[in-house]
Structure 1
Amino acid sequence: MLLLCGIGLFLTTGQYTRLEPVHALSNKDLLFKEGSATFKGCFKRPDNVTLAFPVDAVIENISVDKCVNMCTEKEFTLAALTWEKCHCGFPTSLFTLHEREDDERCWLRCAEEDFENCGNNDYFIVYQTQVQDNRCMDRRFLPIHAEHLIALASFPGSGNTWTRHLIELATGVYTGSCYFDKALYIKGFIGEKDDWRSGETICVKTHENSRTMIQAFDSSILLIRNPYKALMSEFNRQYGGGHIGFAAEARWSGKDWPVFVKKNAPWWASHTQDWLKYGKKVHVVHYEDLKRDVFSHLKKMVLFLGLEVSEDRLLCMEGQKDGNFKRSGEKPEYDPYTAEMRANIDELIKTVDTELKKRNLTAVPEEYRPR
């Protein structure tokens, strides 16, 4: 149960695959086991290899296993292979992982390996180890209380928690909330317990859309998600045991789902409309765009929050962007929406799209725009 800020309304709110590690290990101890490194692709050799990859070694009969093991022991997140050499480093401005090449450019078998490619003198094959990149793990409250309150506003189920995770990684500052969610606090969102009016956090989570609450903030990041996805996500949260569970099929096929959609679909539209109407300074972020290009959108958000951009923190954030709140278990495959529900929701999407365009803001993404 979550209590909305200031009012008495409640909401029941391509891996390298072999064997997984069988227990938690420290960075030093986490030697490569099959499944513990993620293939990132083929990349052009950086201009300054020594700066981009500060540790390297010639390895006899080099293989992915041997290179990932070495870089894990040295506590680096990236392992890059050439035909005879292993390079270890972190994503930096010298090597960002943003310009992946065609994998065929790296076609050269590793020595003594029948199926593994090792790159060549011009192109690296790169894997991400399971070493945690600590460059963006430090977090704190603001040293001086902010004079301006910034909201992170969204309809429930729109990715607010995930976006807070990204913001904290990118800025090193705690985010706050109009609620206290114990599960989030335990997971490391320390700002959950902070008074949302204190000015000690970089922005404040809220699902509220009353005029009074909106105008309590000096500016806002407005996070918008496909209503079809957002409604299902919030239904899963309410009826599936919280942030990472799924509602049972009986909930979808029974009366709970139709009642939920009838009540909450119009709220999805009015939430955006109210923030656009009453918000003093609104920066719109579409969840789908954020998923597609987390680096550039987080960079814009950091600037909107009034902070200097640290590219190393942003690159570190990219490597740890999933966080702890991906839903576990098998995702249901059925479509719970009736034709009548879809007709109503499509009209709501058109209304929101019109409001965004009237203000010269980014229209709703193509993937859920009604045809």
Structure 2
Amino acid sequence: MALASFPRSGNTWLRYLIEGAAGVFTGSVYFDERIYNSGHYGEARNYSDGTTLLQKTHHRAIFKRITRNFSLKWRIRYIRNNKFNGRAVLLIRNPFEAILSYYNFQSTKTHTGAINETYIPIDDFEQFAYRAITRWYEIIEDWLIYGSEVHVVFYEDLVDHPIQVVTHLLRELGLQLDPKRVDCLRKFTTGIL
């Protein structure tokens, strides 16, 4: 099952909460050494080997040359392939916040660094934001239209009520929760990244 989101929408944090509450690793269709080194050991697993509960994906929202040419046909096939079969947790964050955070990430190349917002080149940001809002909308629309089992989580709800949101999600996914794990997670809701 995919854990689909636009970049910088809280995917890694939700993975942390899920792993803490469920005691099961989550994976990724990518490999990010920084995420692996922060304790997400499922990051190093092959996302299709069945050893992880959810697999992080940003669909085609990562800004790379190759993703420019990914057609609707590619996007539908990606969602419905034999690895995801249209199944996903779709994490949605306010587009303004997600896009600004992604621009910050692209500019600093770090998960925690920050740019000085007073010095953002306007033309550069305008081009970035235009492409980003298209991709933000596309990932949501694609999964809702072409997915077969999609569980929606809103980042802002996760911020306000992390334990309630993750326990509700895990119950929807049919997992038994260990109350001791959930109690521990209440004390450590933020993670490392």
Shorter-chain TM-score tier: 0.7 to 0.9
Structure 1 unmatched runs, 5+? 1-149, 326-371
Q: C-alpha separation between the residues in 1 aligned to 2:12 and 2:142?
A: 21
Which of 125, 129, 132 does residue 261 from structure 1 map onto? Answer: 129
Q: C-alpha separation between the residues in 2 aligned to 1:244 and 1:200?
A: 29
The aligned counterpart of 1:305 is 173
Pairs aligned (count): 176
Equivalent residues in 2 for 1:199-238, closer than 5 Å: 199-208=50-59, 210-216=75-81, 217-218=84-85, 219-238=87-106
Deviation at 1:239, TM superposition (A): 0.6
Structure 2 unmatched runs, 5+? 61-74
Q: C-alpha separation between the residues in 1 aligned to 2:19 and 2:169?
A: 11
Q: C-alpha separation between the residues in 2 aligned to 1:151 and 1:306?
A: 16
Equivalent residues in 2 for 1:270-289, closer than 5 Å: 270-289=138-157
Q: Which has the higher contact order (CA 8 A, sep 6+)?
A: 2
Counterpart AA for 2:185: M
Tell me which protein shows more helix as a share of its residues.
2
Counterpart AA for 1:290: L
> What SS does structure 1 have at the residue aligned with 2:120?
helix
The answer as to whether partners of 1:176 and 1:204 remain within 8 angstroms in 2 is yes
Which of 2, 11, 21 does residue 170 from structure 1 map onto? Answer: 21
Q: Does 1:240 align with 2:108?
A: yes
Normalising by structure 2, we get a TM-score of 0.86
Q: C-alpha separation between the residues in 2 aligned to 1:287 and 1:302?
A: 16
% identical aligned pairs: 40
Q: C-alpha separation between the residues in 2 aligned to 1:187 and 1:321?
A: 15
CA deviation profile, 1:27-70 (whole Å, cap 9, x unmatched) = xxxxxxxxxxxxxxxxxxxxxxxxxxxxxxxxxxxxxxxxxxxx
Runs of 4+ in 1 over 3 A off after TM superposition: 248-251
Normalising by structure 1, we get a TM-score of 0.46
The aligned counterpart of 2:158 is 290
Q: C-alpha separation between the residues in 2 aligned to 1:170 and 1:193?
A: 20
Q: Does 1:321 align with 2:172?
A: no
Summarize the Cα distance change of 1:215–1:246 in structure 2 as closer, same or farther, 3 Å threshold: same
Equivalent residues in 2 for 1:42-191, closer than 5 Å: 150-191=1-42
Deviation at 1:251, TM superposition (A): 5.4
> What SS does structure 2 have at the residue aligned with 1:237?
helix
Q: C-alpha separation between the residues in 2 aligned to 1:226 and 1:274?
A: 17
Superposition RMSD in Å: 1.4
The answer as to whether partners of 1:239 and 1:251 remain within 8 angstroms in 2 is no
Summarize the Cα distance change of 1:201–1:251 in structure 2 as closer, same or farther, 3 Å threshold: farther
